[in-house]
Amino acid sequence: MDRHGQLADFLRARRGLLRPEDVGLQTYGERRRVPGLRREELAMLAGISEPYYARLEQGQSRNASREVLDAIAAALRLDESERTHLHELARAPRRGKAAPLPCPEHVPPAISALLAALEGTPAIVLGRRTDVLAWNAQGHALFAGHVDRAGPAEPDRRPNMARLVFLDAHTRELYTDWPAKARAVVGNLRLTAGRHPEDPLLAGLVGELAVRSMEFAAMWADHRILACDAADYEMHHPTVGTLTVTQQTLQSPGGNGPAVVIATAAPGSPSATALSLLAHAGGPSEAAQPRKGTASRPS
């Protein structure tokens, strides 16, 4: 998952999403062979030479300045998350060092304590590849009650939320607007791939999903980025019925540690009542407690 290969693909995909009329360019009825802007049009909008932009899009230039990247981001009409992703992809790779093998992910003590404090509120802890590292009883019951609750305790048995969203029929039926949830998953994976292009496990996950899900392959190919920190979803839960929850992602400031995803509902609403019923249906959360010998290890 070469970073500069991703940069070339990202630029081509996002250029293809813009039509001349979107950016105020006149076409005078000419027939265009491909949808989207031409390279020379994008270069003109960004105020750079077409040959230089072509080298960037072909993955041949690795020294673009911040000013040039910002100009391209403006021409492509990228939002802040997409602009940050563009800068990540354009960073020069480290020279002379092989990519380190990814370290096993664990739940730090502070996050374990937070998960315990959230008892009564559905919460799960996700690794950077969306592996479930831990969950409390309500988080398990809300998001994946059909999956073995003890799964996160064993690295080889951990559920993976991206796989569940795209490949599991129960999870697909859980979301009224499944495409919105699916796009959020893909958008966040895109951000992770930009930050960790050398991660072979992440590349393997993306490859598996692309092969097994045509919907994933199509969403991945359009290179849309989505930093989904909070989103509302209507869910059809098999135990408590239909409810609307706000899923919020709490991430460490550096973005390197596990993320905690919590689900809340408007106070006093039927959805809050449904979550309360879900809480009472669950028992105490042994998943919130780290396994002996692993809690103190950083992620």
Q: What pLDDT sits at residue 113? A: 92
Return d(Cα 175, Cα 170) in angstroms, integer.
9
- The C-alpha atoms of residue 287 and residue 218 are separated, in whole angstroms, by 35
Assess whether pLDDT exceeds 90 at residue 19: no
49-58, 249-258, 282-291: segment of lowest average pLDDT? 282-291
Give CA 82 to chain center in angstroms: 12
pLDDT digits (tens, 9 = 90+) for 75-134: 888 888 888 888 888 876 655 555 566 778 889 998 999 999 998 899 999 999 999 999
The larger pLDDT score, comparing residue 90 to residue 174, is at 174
Q: Which of 25-34, 196-205, 290-299 has the lowest mean pLDDT?
A: 290-299
Q: Are residues 129 and 76 in the same domain?
A: no
Tokens of 237: 């839960």
pLDDT at 216: 95
Ranking 33-37, 136-140, 192-196 by mean pLDDT, the lowest is 33-37
Percent of the chain with pLDDT over 90: 40
**Which pLDDT tens digit goes with each residue over 223-267?**
777 776 889 999 999 999 999 999 999 987 666 779 999 999 999
Same domain, 160 and 271: yes
Q: Tell whether 44 and 186 lie within a shared domain.
A: no
Check residue 125 and report its DSSP letter: E
Q: Within a domain: residue 293?
A: no
Please check the confidence at residue 10 and state whether its pLDDT lies above 80: yes
In a domain, 10, yes or no: yes
Examine the pLDDT at 184 and tell me if it is beyond 70: yes
Q: What angle do CA 179, 180, 182 make, to 5 degrees?
A: 60
Say how many domains are in the chain.
Answer: 2
230-237 β-sheet, strand order: 132-135, 123-126, 259-264, 241-250, 230-237
Q: How far apart are CA 94 and CA 171, in angstroms?
A: 39
User: Are 232 and 114 in the same domain?
Assistant: yes
| pLDDT of amino acid 294 | 37
- Amino acid symbol at 57: E
Residues 63, 165, single domain; the answer is no
Residues 67 and 179 occupy one common structural domain: no
Domain boundary residue, one of 90, 120, 138: 90
Q: 296 pLDDT exceeds 50?
A: no
For residue 250, give the nearest of 241, 237, 259 by alpha carbon: 259
Q: Is the dihedral of CA 287, 289, 293, 296 positive or negative?
A: positive
Asked, for residue 101, whether it belongs to a domain, the answer is no
Same domain? For 86 and 39 the reply is yes
Average pLDDT over residues 167-173: 95
Cβ–Cβ under 8 Å, residues 194 and 6: yes
Question: Are 251 and 123 members of one domain?
Answer: yes
Structural domain boundaries, residue 47: 3-90
Provide the token pair at 245.
């929850």
Q: Please check whether residues 42 and 142 belong to one and the same domain.
A: no
pLDDT of residue 297: 37
Mean predicted lDDT score pLDDT of the chain:
83
Query: Region 193-219: what's the mean pLDDT?
Result: 90
CA angle at residue 150 from 154 to 201, to 5 degrees?
40
pLDDT, residue 24, reads 76
Give the pLDDT of residue 28. Answer: 59
The pLDDT tens digits of the residues spanning 26-42 come to 665 566 677 788 888 88
DSSP structural state of residue 106: -
In total, the chain counts a number of residues equal to: 299
